[in-house]
Structures are given as C-alpha cells and as structure tokens.
C-alpha cells in the first residue's frame, strides 16, 4: 500500500511538472510570435492581459513593443478597441492606444496578477463588452478630477454613444446594475459622487448582482 501511495504521489508531481512545462512553452511561444511582430497590436495586448496572470512578468518581454501609450488624452469621442475588464478599456487605433479606467466604479477583479477571479467579475466584463458593442464601440470621454493615475491610465467618465443618439453613463450604469462598487474617495465632482452613491443604494435595495446575497 505504501509503495502504491508513493507511486501515486510521484505520478501526480510528474503530471504537475508536465503541465507547468507546457504552460511555460505556450507562454514563450506566444512571446516569440509577439517579438517577431507576427500578431496584430490588439492581439499583442490581449496576450499580455491573458498571459500575465499565468506567468507573472512575462508581459515585460514584449511590453516595449506594445502600441499602448501612457499619458493624458483629450476629451471627446473615441473608439474602443479592447475591453480589458469591467472597468478598464483601451481606446484609439492600431498605432496608438490609451488605457482608460472608469473613475469611481470598481468592478471585481478578473485579470489582476496573483489574484483569483472574483465573483461577478466575468459578468461585469461581459456587460461592459455588450454595452460597448451596442454603442458601435464609440464612447465620449470626460475628465473630472485627476486625469492620469500612477499606472499611466486616464481616469474618465465614459459615456456610451448609442445609435439612437442617446448617451449612457457607463460608470453609473455599472454601479446601478450591481456590477461595480462606488469609489468616492478619489478626487472628482461632488455631483458625480452623489450619483454613484445613489446608484449603489438602488442596487443594494434591489439586491442586484454583487448585492444579491
């Protein structure tokens, strides 16, 4: 029995080693394709977002090649080219893209390194992707308070430009749907903070998503 147990443990660790090796091979292969410029800028950034949680630090191998630009951008209409997660977007084009963080709305984590996927994180990401698609990937960005955070992301109020001509305030909508928590400790207008607090109160009262338990 003891011999069988040792054999089982040995098999388990061998399998674990193989899986780890395959994961590293996959990651290195992806990095090589990126380094050779055989993937589009959009796929390059998607790879960075997907691979980093699997192999922390691997995105640094091709980060200098990324088309993502840090620093402040102008208010106005922008095209969304990638939804990172529920509260983070990339806007711009294939040559120059800027990362946007929805100010005041915090959705559950899905891609933070060394952090498990949090409840309702995938739902928040899917919701944002769906709304961006409904708006034909067009958003209006407005800045209210500090514009750029320490990661180089633009902190924005994001308004979906719907085909019927209406604007939908995505920050507030995510909070109202119970897919984001209101973050009012940062510097932005009192009016927006009050709107976010009210939206969160409504979500809690209706027991939507994050507040369903």
**Domain-ending residue, one of 34, 65, 96:** 65
Is the same domain home to 186 and 128?
A: yes
What is the number of domains present in the chain? 2
Q: Is 38's pLDDT higher than 50?
A: no
- Say which residues have a Cβ less than 8 Å from residue 155's Cβ, sequence separation at least 6: 101, 103, 143, 145, 146, 147, 148, 149, 186, 188
Is the same domain home to 7 and 100?
A: no
Is the same domain home to 76 and 170?
A: yes
pTM: 0.70
Q: What is the pLDDT of residues 125-150, one digit of tens each?
A: 999 999 999 999 999 999 998 899 98
Is the same domain home to 96 and 24?
A: no
Is the same domain home to 91 and 48?
A: no
Is the same domain home to 85 and 157?
A: yes
Domain of 81, in residue numbers: 70-211
**Token pair of 7 as six digits:** 């054999």
Instruction: Give the residue numbers marked as catalytic.
Output: 101, 109, 153
Is the same domain home to 39 and 124?
A: no
| DSSP assigned state of 167 | E
**Ramachandran region of residue 98, left (φ > 0), alpha (ψ -120 to 50) or beta?**
beta
Task: Give dist(CA 8, CA 30) in Å, integer.
Answer: 33
Is the same domain home to 59 and 105?
A: no
Q: What is the pLDDT of residues 159-200, one digit of tens each?
A: 999 999 999 999 999 999 999 999 999 999 999 999 999 999
Is the same domain home to 60 and 112?
A: no
């Amino acid at each position: 029995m003891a011999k069988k147990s040792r054999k089982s443990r040995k098999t388990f660790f061998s399998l674990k080693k193989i899986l780890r090796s395959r994961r590293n091979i996959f990651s290195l292969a992806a990095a090589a394709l990126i380094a050779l410029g055989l993937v589009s800028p959009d796929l390059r950034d998607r790879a960075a977002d997907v691979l980093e949680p699997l192999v922390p630090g691997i995105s640094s191998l091709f980060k200098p090649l990324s088309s993502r630009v840090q620093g402040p951008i102008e208010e106005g209409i922008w095209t969304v080219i990638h939804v990172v997660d529920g509260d983070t977007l990339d806007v711009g084009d294939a040559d120059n893209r800027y990362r946007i963080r929805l100010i005041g709305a915090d959705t559950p984590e899905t891609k933070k390194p060394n952090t498990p996927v949090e409840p309702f994180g995938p739902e928040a990401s899917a919701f944002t992707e769906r709304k961006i698609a409904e708006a034909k990937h067009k958003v209006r960005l407005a800045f209210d308070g500090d514009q750029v955070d320490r990661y180089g992301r633009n902190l924005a109020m994001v308004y979906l430009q719907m085909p019927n001509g209406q604007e939908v305030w995505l920050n507030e909508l995510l909070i109202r749907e119970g897919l984001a928590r209101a973050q009012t400790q940062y510097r932005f207008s009192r009016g927006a903070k009050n709107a976010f607090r009210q939206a969160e109160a409504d979500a809690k009262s209706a027991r939507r998503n994050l507040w369903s338990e």
